[in-house]
Structure 1
Amino acid sequence: MSVSQTMETEEDLLTCLHIKLYHPQQNFKGFYELLPFGTRHRHQADEPLRVGRDAKSCTFALNDLRVSRKQLALIAYRTPQSPDLLFTIQNLSQRGKLTVNSSALGYLERTDLPNKALIRFGEYEMLIVRESGEAKGSFEVGFEVLTVPPSRETCICEPNKTAVMDTGSYGGNSFPSVPSALGPLESDETLMGVS
């Protein structure tokens, strides 16, 4: 084998953000016609990745008048404690809130993006999954359309409620795993105090 075939390159080791989109009317509208499906887009880590309606000021545009001109930004960063490329998400919309795993962000507010996050704005649901890589100067973004809302399959925690995890297992207990297609497990509150 030649040296060029055995060397690892930055292209082989890029962090990838898998962005999976859902909108209840996506089958009837051309919301996603401006997004690059079927290919990964490479983005420089020192530039914010913006999503919104305006194709000129955003990296990726949604063809929907109800979306803000600039809806959100994903900003890459690193820490001295970790070699991984990490991300924050910032709400750029003055018109509406953006939620990240049930935590609301107002205009210009930002939060760290976990490895798997459910983002909601308007009627959109966006599941972002980070696949780690070693490259520091750039990352990739890949888009996919989901046929069902990702909130049905991810952990959406409401205050004072136990979470149902994306595996279908009941969080924090040793109940057997149930396929997530059946929906969340429920309990009868009247049986909780019975010994």
Structure 2
Amino acid sequence: MNVSQTLETEEDLLTSLQIKLYHPQQCSKGMFSLLTLGRRIRQDADDPLRMGRDGQTCIFALADQKVSRKQLSLQAYRTPQKQGMFFTVQNLSKKGRLVVNGTGLEYLERLDLPDKALVRFGEYEMLIVRESGEAKGSFEVQLDVLEVSPFTETCVCIPTTNPVMDTGSDYTRGLMSREPSECDETLPYLT
């Protein structure tokens, strides 16, 4: 067997960013019409991935006048302490604020992206999910549109028990007996 056939290639091990976009008026306004949706796009790791309305400087252009020319940037990086490729998100908008998992970013502020992040700007919401790979020179991106807000999909709801209201019913009287279940023999008992 040839040595080149046994080596793993970068194509097999690319880090992947799944970006799922949502806007409440996406159907009527066609704001995602300039994007390549549902297809994996290979990106050089040393080039920032920009999103905004300027199709000349942004790899992902949004057809919306309310979006800044350059809205945000995703930049790949590596560290000597950890294996894999990681990403930062930077707010490139002078007018709008970028919110990442509840943390607000002003102009030129950046934040490390966790493996799963909810990014908001204006009325846009993006769910970004990173799948780790071993390639060092490039990564892949796939854009999709969500029908519902990713915020409602990612909201973790903790089940709670319904509070019991003291209505004086037999049920609550049974729970609240007049006698203590434990008592301290040194304290006087009042009836």
- Relative to the length of structure 2, the TM-score reads 0.81
Secondary structure at 1:18 match in 2? strand
Q: Which residue of 1 aligns with 2:26?
A: 26
Show the counterpart of 2:39. 39
Of stretches 144-153 and 5-14 in structure 1, the one that deviates more from structure 2 is 5-14
Write the letter of the residue equivalent to 1:127: L
Report the counterpart of residue 176 of structure 1 in structure 2.
none
Q: Which residue does the alignment assign to 1:56?
A: 56
Equivalent runs, 1:112-131 vs 2, <5 Å: 112-131=112-131
> Please, what is the CA RMSD of the aligned residues?
2.0
1:39 deviates by: 1.2
Higher RCO (CA 8 Å, separation ≥ 6 residues): 2
Separation in 2, partners of 1:189, 1:10: 56
Within 2, Cα distance between the matches of 1:16 and 1:82? Answer: 17
3-state SS of the aligned residue for 1:28? helix
The alignment partner of 1:27 has SS state of helix
Q: Which residue of 1 aligns with 2:110?
A: 110
Equivalent residue letter for 1:105: L
Q: Secondary structure at the match of 1:68?
A: coil
Q: What is residue 159 of structure 1 aligned with on the other side?
A: none
Q: How many residues align?
A: 167
Deviation at 1:30, TM superposition (A): 1.2
Deviation of 1:13 (Å): 0.7
Give the equivalent residue in structure 2 for 1:79.
79
Pairing of 1:1-195 with structure 2 (within 5 A):
6-155=6-155, 164=156, 170=158, 185=159
Residue type matched to 1:13 in 2? Answer: L
Moved more, 91-100 or 36-45: 36-45
Q: Which consecutive segments of 4 or more residues in structure 1 shift more than 6 A?
A: none
Could you report, residue by residue, the CA deviation over 1:49-77 in whole angstroms, capped at 9, with x for unpaired residues? 10000000111100100000000000110
Shift of 1:5: 5.3
Letter in 2 for 1:130: R
Q: Is the alpha carbon distance of 1:190 and 1:49 closer, same or farther for their aligned partners in structure 2, counting shifts above 3 Å? A: farther
Determine the C-alpha separation between the residues in 2 that align with 1:142 and 1:47.
Answer: 16
Percent identity, aligned pairs only? 63
Quick one: structure 1 residues 147 and 64, their matched pair in 2 at CA, closer, same or farther if it must change by over 3 Å? same
Unaligned runs of 5+ in 1: 156-163, 171-184
**Other-structure match for 2:188:** none
Task: Report deviation, 1:154.
Answer: 1.4
Distance (whole Å) between structure 1 residues aligned to residue 162 and residue 120 of structure 2: 30
Tell me how far apart the structure 2 counterparts of residues 190 and 86 of structure 1 sit (CA, whole Å). 48
3-state DSSP of counterpart to 1:55: coil
Letter in 2 for 1:32: F
Deviation per residue, 1:71-126 (Å, 9 max, x gap): 00001101111111000000000011000001100000000000000000000000
